[in-house]
Structure 1
Amino acid sequence: MSIKVLLVEDDRTLADSLKKYLKLSGIEVDTAYTYEDASQKTLDTRYDVYLVDINLQDGNGIELVEALKLSEDHTPVIFISALTDLGTIAKGFEVGAEDYIKKPFDPDELVIRIKSRVKKNSPKELRYKDLIYKDGRFFKNGKEIELGEVMRNILLILLENKGKVVPKETLYDLMINPSPTALRVLINRLKKKTDIEIKSVRGLGYVVD
C-alpha cells in the first residue's frame, strides 16, 4: 500500500532530511515550509497523514489543524515539536491530532507511527465501472486521479449512494465555502476528471446511476 504524507515543517534542513529518509521507507512526502503553503497543498492534494510542526514562522500548527478539521478534512495528524508544555500538547489533541512525537526523535519511530495511523484509517475498497477507490485514493484504468479532500469526499459519498439522490445540503456540509454555484463548478470538475455521469436533480441534489 502506498502512503502519501504532507510534512509541514519550517526547518528546511530537517524537512528535507525527513523527506529523504521516509522515501527510503516507501513513504511519498510533499513538504510545506509555511502555514500558507500547507493550507494550499491540503486543498489540492489528498494525503494519508499530515505531519505538522506546532511552531511555524508564519503561523501555528495547532491553528492549521483546527482549521482543517473544521473544514471536514479528517486526514490523520501527527504533531512533531520540540515543545514539552503539556497544555500545548493537550490543545493539539483537542483540535483533532491523533498522535504526537517530540523532537529529537528516531526516524524509524516516526515511520512506525505513520504506518500505524494509515492502517487504522484505511477506508474500504469501492468499485464503479472503470473507477476504483482504494486506500483512500481514486484510480481510473490503474492511474490515480488527483483530487483534493473536498472533491474526494463528495465523489465518495455520491458513489456510496449510487442510484440515490444525495441532497445538496449533504454535499454543502463537505465544502469549505458552500454555495449553489461553487457546488455546480465542483461537480463539473469531477465529471471532467472522472468521466462519470453525475446528474443534477433540480431542487434536490445530485445522483450517480
Structure 2
Amino acid sequence: MIKTKLLLLEDDPNLSESVSEYLEEHGFDVQCVYDAVSAEEILYEQKFDLLLLDVNVPGGDGFSLLKANRKDGNTTPAIFITSRNAMSDLEEGFESGGDDYIRKPFALKELLLRIQTILKRNFYHNPSDVLVLGEGITYDIDNQILMINSHEQTLQLKEHKLLKLFIQHRNELLPHEVIMEHLWDYDETPSDGSLRTYIKTLRKLLGKDSIVSHKRIGYQFR
C-alpha cells in the first residue's frame, strides 16, 4: 500500500521528531526539513500529499514559501503550524493559500484529525470548479458533469470517482491497489474486470491515449 506523503517544515528538532514519529506511527511517510531553503528545494524535486509548514523558520517563512508555490501552480493542501496568534497572522495564512492553521502548543491527536479531514477532500485550490480536460472536453467537479462538444456524457458513480482520482493525480502513475482502495468501500469486493471496464469507458470518451496502462503496475492519466 502506498503511504500518504507529508512534508514537515519545522526548525525545532524536538518538535519535528515528535510530530514525525507520531504521524509515521499512524501510517504516514514524513519528510522533515528545517529551513525555508531546503523546503523550497524539496518541493521542486518531489510531490507531496500535504504540507505542514512552520511559519517562523530560518531562510524565510512558511507564508511566503506557500504563496510562491501557489503562484507556480502547486495545489498541495497545507496546514500552518505557528505560535503566532494575531488575527492578522491568521488572515495572512489563508490568503497565502493555506487550508488550515494550528497554534502551538497543540495536541498531536488534533493535528492528526486536521490532516485526515483535509485529505478527505477531492480537489484543492482550483480557480474554477469546471476543468478543461481537452479540446471540447470539460468536467464540472461539484456536479459531476462531463461535457464533450457541449453534450453531457453519462458515467457511473465509480467512473466519476475514477476520473476525479485521475484528475487529482494527473501524469502520476497510480498503482492498482491505490485505485482499488479509492473506488471500492471496505464492505465491497474490488473487481479487476470492473476497473478495466471503467478505464475502457473513459478512454472511449477522452481518447485512447488519455490513460496509459503500465502492465502489472497501474495506470497514468495524461
Change (3 A) 1:9 1:139: same
Percent identity, please.
32
**What residue number does 1:163 align with?**
207
Deviation track 1:98-142 (CA, whole Å, cap 9, x = no partner) reads: 10000000000100100111101369435xxxxx95984523576
Query: Structure 1 residues 24 and 83 mapped into 2: Cα distance closer, same or farther (>3 Å)?
Result: same
In structure 1, what is the equivalent of residue 174 of structure 2?
Answer: 139
Which 5+ residue runs of structure 1 have no aligned equivalent?
127-131, 144-158, 167-193, 197-207
| Partner Cα separation in structure 2 for residue 12 and residue 20 of structure 1 | 12
Runs of 4+ in 1 over 2 A off after TM superposition: 121-126, 132-143, 161-166
For residues 158-183 of structure 1, give each alpha carbon's deviation from its aligned partner in whole angstroms, at most 9, with x where no partner exists: x9x953999xxxxxxxxxxxxxxxxx
Residue correspondences, number: 152
User: Aligned partners of 1:18, 1:96: CA distance in 2, in Å?
Assistant: 22
When the two chains are superposed, the root-mean-square deviation of aligned CA atoms in Å is: 3.5
Per the alignment, residue 37 of structure 1 pairs with 38
Superposition map of 1:3-152 within 5 A: 3-121=4-122, 124-125=161-162, 133=166, 136=169, 138-139=173-174
The 3 A distance-change label for structure 1 pair 114 and 140 is closer
CA distance in 2, matches of 1:122, 1:105: 27
Distance in structure 2 (CA, Å) of the matches to 1:101 and 1:79: 6
Q: Is the 8 A contact 1:125 1:135 kept in 2?
A: no
Shift of 1:17: 1.4
Distance in 2, Cα, partners of 1:140 & 1:78: 27
Letter in 2 for 1:82: S
Distance 1:134 1:26 in 2: 24
Counterpart CA distance in 2 for 1:115 and 1:65 is 20
Pair member with larger Rg: 2
- Structure 1 pair 141/118, CA: closer, same or farther in 2 (3 Å)? closer
* Deviation (angstroms), 1:25: 1.1
Which structure 2 residue ranges, 5 or more long, are not aligned?
Answer: 125-160, 179-202, 211-216
**Partner-residue secondary structure (3-state), 1:29:** strand
SS of the aligned residue for 1:125 comes to helix
TM-score with structure 1 setting the length: 0.62
Which amino acid letter does the alignment assign opposite residue 162 of structure 2?
E
1:179-202: CA deviation from partner (whole Å, max 9, x where unpaired) = xxxxxxxxxxxxxxx9x9xxxxxx
Partners of 1:84 and 1:52 lie apart in 2 by 15
